[in-house]
A and B are shown apart, each in its own frame.
Chain A
């Protein structure tokens, strides 16, 4: 099987710290993968290695290419938004489109203009005249008009308001994603993307602590909400995490029969955010 991203023993060291610690990672085509982790967990370092923006140790192949030596060739099939507001501020919108068209063989001016027509961005404006949300729209319009196999988004909606954020992911899902493409996203606003993800990776202290498809998570994890008098019985089933909310006890179980839990209270699939907290604090304990 050909993976879009295939990493073995991927390690990134800065002078004293290890940002990415011996990661093995295989991502097949046609997935939307969320890379979730606390600040400083090594998300951006891992993405930079994948995009050929930083050196690394270990073996890493992206679409069959070596990102550190073939960045330019790789960028014909990979696109990324590394952060909000990295478009050059001096450039005019038409110049940006002109340039991308000439440099990127897979860019469609037509598509880009169509995406932009639904925004307030006009061709003669300079990037510095646009609001933060409009810059994000412009960048997304450009990226979505490039026919690439892998799209990497690193905190693409940071600092944008909720309307822009919803629109951003709706556009991405409706107009862009298909089975040929792979999207890798990092964000802190997990709850906004969990319904579009097909896979979930948690990263902490440079290590992968969870790597699973969303279906497996739905089957493998269960959240139980009980009254205090059932708590002891619930604890006997060895939950991985316990918390209290309004006098109710909430337990998170891994690989437990849901039928076994049902008599104790309300059972449901945990949200990614709750799972994140449970796994991260569980690991720390």
Chain B
């Protein structure tokens, strides 16, 4: 256990830039945007006159409506964090078993009494838990700082920040849901993570190419053959990926959308298997589905293959 934790720490040290600096930069951009917004208001409009009026107007609206909109704003603040997190984890896993082969430091890591299974577990853990938790913490901190900043502006402008901002909009619920969605996504994305680790373990060079090209070629071939035979575009690799993406528990927008809309946008009919309302229950539903079971089986195959390649990585 101690060894596993030490190896996870190693992953954090090596990827500090991606895991910590990246979300900090996003948080910084949010704060900068917020300040620019306030300065712009002040510039065009003496002493925040119109902002004051706007706040007064908002304060007069129905409290339920205000709470609902604020809640959606709270949730949607996470979207940019979540999307960047997805990219960070993607590229992290693509390099996880590749970088040390390239610079030959694998020879040092293999001289330590840590098994290859433990090494792969530590990298998976970094992708599934460490990176999401760091992103989430920085998202929450950014959110709190922005709320405090805005509250003080509201207070200066003579409104009550507690009734206008802080007591409504359920920030804790938003934070909880985002964290839950990160963990649910980590499990939902396991087949993809497994594939990336497998590519990372065997790719002789340019892992990105090896990760994207084979499924792309396979998918196009499949589409083409399908099209020649039946003139329909059903159940193929792209459809499967679309299905996976559309049902991903990651919160991509403040509101729920349905599979059918997404399918129409992709040109592929996707059946609506899941309820997409953003609740923990709906996230859990997806994790206890047949789809997920199949996904886990696929992930297991990929990870076993990754382990096989990792064992033989020093062969030459």
- A interface residues (Cβ-Cβ under 8 A, vs B): 14, 48, 51-55, 71-76, 79-83, 85-92, 95, 98-100, 102-105, 139
Task: Judge if B314 is at the interface, Cβ distance under 8 Å.
Answer: yes
* Stretch from B25-33, B109-117, B293-301 at the A interface: B109-117
A54 to B315, Cβ gap below 8 A?
yes
Distance of A72 Cα from B118 Cα, bound (Å): 10
Distance of A80 Cα from B107 Cα, bound (Å): 9
Distance of A54 Cα from B314 Cα, bound (Å): 6
- Nearest residue in A to B314 (C-beta to C-beta)? A53
Question: Which residues of chain B from 64 to 113 have any CB-CB distance to chain A below 8 Å in the complex?
Answer: 100, 103-113
Task: Judge if B9 is at the interface, Cβ distance under 8 Å.
Answer: yes
Task: Judge if B7 is at the interface, Cβ distance under 8 Å.
Answer: yes
Q: How far is the CB of B315 from chain A (nearest CB, A)?
A: 5
B14 to A103, Cβ gap below 8 A?
no
For B118, list chain A residues within 8 Å (CB): 72
B105 to A102, Cβ gap below 8 A?
no
Question: Could you count the A-B residue pairs with CB atoms below 8 Å apart for me: how many are there?
Answer: 83
A103 to B112, Cβ gap below 8 A?
yes
B6 to A102, Cβ gap below 8 A?
yes
Task: Judge if B173 is at the interface, Cβ distance under 8 Å.
Answer: no
13 contacts between A and B (CB under 8 A): A48-B315, A53-B107, A53-B315, A55-B312, A71-B110, A81-B111, A88-B14, A91-B13, A92-B13, A102-B5, A103-B112, A104-B112, A139-B108
A72-B114, A72-B118, A91-B13 given; A102·B108 CB < 8 A: no
B100 to A72, Cβ gap below 8 A?
no
B7 to A95, Cβ gap below 8 A?
no
A100 to B112, Cβ gap below 8 A?
yes
For B205, list chain A residues within 8 Å (CB): none
For B100, list chain A residues within 8 Å (CB): 88
For A52, list chain B residues within 8 Å (CB): 110
A86 to B314, Cβ gap below 8 A?
no
Q: How far is the CB of A50 from chain B (nearest CB, A)?
A: 12
